[in-house]
């Protein structure tokens, strides 16, 4: 499961330390969601197949990867080339279906797929969504709540809140053998073992159910945390973030949230910077340090020498931890260098950000910024 939105802390403090089952009258602790690993895969109710071959049914020995994506989703763009590689690697053994969901303009999907060409060399379909009402407030939200695949697969499994991209491996018997993010090679080993016949679905299902229960609790607490911030109850928001991180170590990225509330909302620079310095050597999540640096450079705006020095340390460490693969971190490092009037370094990192960016809107933004930095060193 994704490590971003998990569990309820309101009255569960004594229970949380044991990572016990999700509370709830009559709820099966091994089934926090209606659709779990080991279950029979739902049918693919789609409006049309933009690129074939069409996948009409599961089972009968056919192994299928079903991945959910959208054109506006940056991580989805990152997963597309690798899915094409897998489609080629397992040609004749594995079918791959990319199901487009949550689009504001689904009519543009065929054009997108055509433009991708061989970089998206697997079956692609659009979710079956009713026509958008004339007064619809958010088309992606409407598609999320009314799309047939969105509801049957994503809402039923909890990934409606976890987000996309997400992939499901359906084995030759038509049952779900694995669910998870397709990025970073996480899909590769389970798929290889399913193809080889050595994958232990039962063992993975038990671990997945345990983690899903934790995720569900964290999600509820995250909503409380965000609600507290919206209500300007900043101390409560920080307290909730601390409780979540104490319960689930994979939520250490929320250190970035705590820092942002301290600096941007409470205006307590001393406490914020003390906290950032304490997290710098010990927080293993580059997202947390990257967020802190971004808040200093792009949101706070004071840009005093001590501010930029801390931002550079945070972003530099995040860059190192992420092995230089994150365009947003390069963009922050470039901005920090620009504010320090080190224009050559600003150009260096903005060029890296542009090279790493995957979606066109971000590339256009980074290209414009790069041109601005270049003009300063001519």
Q: Identify the CATH number of the domain in which residue 201 sits.
A: 3.40.30.10
Residue 8 maps to a domain: no
One domain, residues 171 and 239? no
Residue 222's pLDDT is: 95
Residue 29's pLDDT is: 65
One domain, residues 230 and 154? no
Cβ-Cβ contacts under 8 Å for 104 (sequence gap 6 or more): 72, 138, 139, 140, 143
Entry pTM: 0.71
pLDDT digits (tens, 9 = 90+) for 43-57: 999 999 999 899 999
Residue 157 maps to a domain: yes
pLDDT digits (tens, 9 = 90+) for 21-79: 233 333 566 789 999 999 999 999 999 999 989 999 999 999 999 999 999 998 999 89
Range of the domain at 180: 13-211
pLDDT digits (tens, 9 = 90+) for 273-332: 999 999 999 999 999 999 999 999 999 999 999 999 999 999 999 999 999 999 999 999
One domain, residues 258 and 350? yes
Among 211, 234, 267, give the residue marking a domain's end: 211
pLDDT at 163 over 80: yes
One domain, residues 76 and 223? no
Residue 27's pLDDT is: 54
Q: What is the mean pLDDT of residues 352-360?
A: 91
How far apart are the two ends of the chain, measured CA to CA in Å?
48
Residue by residue, DSSP assigns 21-63 as: PPP-TT--TT-SSSS-TTSBPPP--EEEEEESS-----BTTBE
pLDDT digits (tens, 9 = 90+) for 79-127: 999 999 999 999 999 999 999 999 999 999 999 999 999 999 999 999 9
Among 211, 228, 260, give the residue marking a domain's end: 211
């Amino acid at each position: 499961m994704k490590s971003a939105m998990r569990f309820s802390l309101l009255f569960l403090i004594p229970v949380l330390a044991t990572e016990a089952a999700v509370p709830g009258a009559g709820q099966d602790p091994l089934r926090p969601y209606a659709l779990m690993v080991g279950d029979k895969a739902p049918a693919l109710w789609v409006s049309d197949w933009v690129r074939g071959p069409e996948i009409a049914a599961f089972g009968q020995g056919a192994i299928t990867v079903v991945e959910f994506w959208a054109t506006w989703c940056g991580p989805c763009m990152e997963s597309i080339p690798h899915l094409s590689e897998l489609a080629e690697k397992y040609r004749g053994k594995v079918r791959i279906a990319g199901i487009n969901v949550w689009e504001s303009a689904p009519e543009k999907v065929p054009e997108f797929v055509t433009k991708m060409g061989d970089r998206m060399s697997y079956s692609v379909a659009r979710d079956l969504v009713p026509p958008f009402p004339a007064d619809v407030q958010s088309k992606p939200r409407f598609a999320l709540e009314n799309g047939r695949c969105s509801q049957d697969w994503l809402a039923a499994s909890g990934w409606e809140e976890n987000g996309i991209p997400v992939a499901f491996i359906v084995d030759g018997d038509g049952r779900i053998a694995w669910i998870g993010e397709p990025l970073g090679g996480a899909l590769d080993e389970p798929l290889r073992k399913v193809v080889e016949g050595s994958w232990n679905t039962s063992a993975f299902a038990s671990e997945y159910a345990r983690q899903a229960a934790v995720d569900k609790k964290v999600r509820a607490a995250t909503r409380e945390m965000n609600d507290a911030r919206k209500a300007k109850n900043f101390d409560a928001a920080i307290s909730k973030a601390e409780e979540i991180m104490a319960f689930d170590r994979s939520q250490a990225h929320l250190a970035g949230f705590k820092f942002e509330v301290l600096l941007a909302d409470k205006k307590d620079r001393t406490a914020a910077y003390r906290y950032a310095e304490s997290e710098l050597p010990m927080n293993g999540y580059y997202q947390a340090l990257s967020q802190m640096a971004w808040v200093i450079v792009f949101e706070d705006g004071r840009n005093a020498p001590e501010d930029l020095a801390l931002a550079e340390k945070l972003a530099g460490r995040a860059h190192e931890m992420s092995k230089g693969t994150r365009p947003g971190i390069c963009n922050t490092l470039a901005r920090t260098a620009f504010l320090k009037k080190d224009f050559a370094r600003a150009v260096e990192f903005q060029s890296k950000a542009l090279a790493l960016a995957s979606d066109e809107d971000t590339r256009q933004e980074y290209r414009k910024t790069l041109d601005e930095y270049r003009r300063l060193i001519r």
